[in-house]
Amino acid sequence: MTKPLCVMLVAGEASGDDRGAGLAKALRRRLGDEVRFVGVGGERMAEEGVVSPFDISEISILGILEGVLGYSRVMKRVEDTAVLAVREKPDIAILIDSWGFTLRVARRLRKMDASIPLVKYVGPQVWASRPGRAVTLAGTVDHLLSIHVFDAPYFEKAGLPVTFVGNSALTIDFSEADPDGLKASLGIAPNSPVLLVLPGSRPSEIKRVLPPFLEAIRILKAERPDLSVIIPAAPTVAASVKEQAEGLAHVVEGEAAKLSAMKAATVALACSGTVTTEVASAGVPMVVGYALGKVTYAVLKRLIRTPYITLFNIAAQSFVAPELIQADCNGPALAREIALRLDDPALAQTQAEAQTAALLKMGRGGPDPSEAAADAVLKILAARK
């Protein structure tokens, strides 16, 4: 009896957890009982059999100061991941997003066993800032699974083979979303305007982004008593979000509730990240807000080579959705932009259509990314035999 293929999947945050779960499902569809999974992930990957040795909220860090303060904790978790690999002896390791953590894991695995194929799933955005990371990645892993059509030239120039698989946020399935059912369960009237609020999945984002988001909600609700607010909370931050948003919003958990909330929304207020693509896919006009630590922002401001931080804005080369960053990410400013879209359905519709057009430029309508990623992983393994 042949030994099942052992695939190690390592994700450090919610979006990576989603991608890891999708890849695991796709590989299991092809291989059945002939594959098993080990690694690091969250709730979605756990459902696919990836038993994580620790809670990934511990390594979901963004910012220079936060990185320095959390360095020893991250390095301990890197070592824990390496110990897991020593025990399980994976045939291949897929390192998903989370640049700082997965890069360190890759280097540790390479020293431990140079024969393990290392695949990075989602590359750093070198076309926006820090192009040197392409060379760093090329010297660390064997292959890149890219989610952006414009990634390949940057990494291939550095000598890293690239397979474009597409962005799973572009293929999100809303067919089972139940916006009416969700509104009824929350006591929201069928015709009541709904503000969807997505404050991020990292503790640092909740610390910096949620307070101005909540201030915007207070301003808007004072002016619009009929406005209902729904906050889908990621598992990594749900307890904190519930505590801070009590009395201001309906906080929901789980993927089904999140998708239903997206389809129920009139307008959204979103933290910059993967979720902006998901909300755009739901056809909801949005306002994007974000804030970093002062030191991190000062450094990144010198490094970033694009005026946009939202992917569909980058694809459109236009502020399709307004971006309120740093000092501009404050309650009154956010409330003002949201109010414009609540009060002007024509403006909201025009923006939603422009977002959809930008998603097409990003590759919407292409093959399923999880299926493409699974095919790429099996081809990489076949080439190594």
CATH of the domain at 308: 3.40.50.2000
pLDDT of 129 strictly over 80: no
The whole-angstrom separation of Cα 83 and Cα 79 is: 6
User: What percentage of the chain reaches a pLDDT higher than 70?
Assistant: 93
Contact yes or no for 166/363 (Cβ under 8 A):
yes
With a CB cutoff of 8 Å and minimum separation 6, the contacts of 4 are 31, 33, 34, 35, 36
Query: Is the same domain home to 255 and 377?
Result: no
Same domain, 125 and 186: no
Say yes or no: 204 and 348 in one domain: yes
97 vs 120, residue with greater confidence: 120
What's the CA gap between 298 and 167, in Å, rounded? Answer: 29
Are 362 and 332 within 8 A, CB to CB?
no
State whether 123 and 222 are in the same domain.
no
Number of domains making up the chain: 2
pLDDT value, residue 55: 87
Question: Is 246 a member of any domain?
Answer: yes
Cα–Cα distance, 238 to 61 (Å, whole number): 16
Section 132-146 average pLDDT: 95
Position 57 scores a pLDDT of 80
So what's the pLDDT on residue 64?
47
Q: How many residues does the chain have?
A: 385
What is the DSSP secondary structure assignment for residue 280, as one 8-state letter?
H
Instruction: Work out the percent of the chain whose per-residue pLDDT is above 90.
Output: 70
**Contacts of residue 185, Cβ cutoff 8 Å, sequence gap at least 6:** none
The number of CA neighbours under 13 Å toward the Cβ of 318 is 9
pLDDT at 106: 96
Instruction: Tell me the pLDDT of the chain averaged across its residues.
Output: 91
Q: Distance of alpha carbon 171 from its chain centroid, rounded?
A: 14
* Gap between the Cα atoms of 286 and 265, Å rounded: 10
In a domain, 46, yes or no: yes
Q: Are residues 149 and 238 in the same domain?
A: no
Q: Is residue 252 located within the same domain as residue 374?
A: no
Could you tell me if 378 and 331 lie in one domain? no
Q: How confident is the model at residue 367 (pLDDT cuts 50, 70, 90)?
A: confident
Same domain as 320, residue 346: yes
- How many of the other CB atoms lie within 10 Å of CB of 246? 9
In a shared domain, residues 196 and 158: no
Has residue 61 been placed in a domain? Answer: yes
In a domain, 27, yes or no: yes
C-beta atoms surrounding 290 within 10 Å: 21
Asked if pLDDT for residue 140 goes beyond 90, the answer is yes
The reply to whether 173 falls in a domain is: no
- CA dihedral 25→357→201→174, nearest 10 degrees, is -50
Residue 171 domain flag: no
Same-domain status, 158 and 292: no
**180: confidence class by pLDDT, cuts 50, 70, 90:** very high
Q: What is the pLDDT of residue 273?
A: 85
101 in a structural domain: yes
Q: In b/e form, how buried is each residue of 14-46, taking b as 16+ CB within 10 angstroms?
A: bbbbbbbbbbbebbbeeeeeebbbbbbbbbbbe
Residues 74 and 116 in one domain: yes
Do 197 and 147 lie in one domain? The reply is: no
Residue 209's nearest CA partner among 314, 326, 321 is: 326
**Domain contains 174:** no
Average pLDDT over residues 34-41: 96
* 116, pLDDT greater than 60: yes
Query: Can you give the pLDDT at residue 296?
Result: 60
Environment class of residue 239 by beta-carbon count within 10 Å: exposed (0-12), middle (13-18) or buried (19+)?
exposed
Which SS3 state, helix, strand or coil, does residue 250 take?
strand
pLDDT, greater one: 71 or 95: 95
Burial 69-97 (b: 16+ CB within 10 A, else e): ebeeebeebbeebbebbeeeebbbbbbbb
Give me the domain span that covers residue 318.
179-361
Q: State yes or no: pLDDT of 136 exceeds 80.
A: yes
137: Cβ contacts below 8 Å, ≥ 6 apart: 103, 120, 123, 124, 144, 155, 158, 160
Structure confidence at residue 110 as a pLDDT band (50, 70, 90): very high
Weakest-pLDDT range from 73-87, 173-187, 240-254, 255-269: 73-87
Q: What are the tens digits of pLDDT across the range 283-321?
A: 999 999 988 766 665 555 665 667 888 989 988 999 999
